[in-house]
Amino acid sequence: MLELCVCIGTSCHTKGAYNVIQTFQQMIEEKSLHGKVNFKSSFCMKECAKPGVSVSVGGDRHRVPAEEAREFFNTVVVGKV
Ligand code: FES
């Protein structure tokens, strides 16, 4: 099971964490990945100064601009499932 975690701390919230979460949920539905992805949220990942929303995929940290969430899911997340 791949662990996918989106930061919902204040800084990431203002950078669009809610939109990233919505997009990821939608993609999990579309691709029927419920049994393969453990989707969670997290408090501040201590990377607020970097651009984009903090996302952890199988323990690897990434920064995801909200408008690139769909593309990120298709390339990075799907590639690891
Ligand atoms: S609020 Fe997301 S890294 Fe700090």
CA of 33 to the centre of ligand 1 (A): 26
Mean pLDDT throughout 60-79?
97
Q: Provide the pLDDT for residue 1.
A: 95
**Whose CA is closest to 10, among 67, 70, 54?**
54
Range of the domain at 42: 2-80
What CATH number has the domain bearing residue 18? 3.40.30.10
Q: Is any atom of ligand 1 closer than 6 Å to the C-beta of 68?
A: no
DSSP-H helix ranges across the chain: 10-14, 17-30, 69-72, 78-80
Q: Is any atom of ligand 1 closer than 6 Å to the C-beta of 33?
A: no
Q: Is any atom of ligand 1 closer than 6 Å to the C-beta of 7?
A: yes
Count of domains for the chain: 1
pLDDT band at 55 (very low <50, low <70, confident <90, very high): very high
| Nearest atom, ligand 1, residue 13 CA | 1
Q: pLDDT tens digits, residue range 22-49?
A: 999 999 999 999 999 999 999 999 999 9
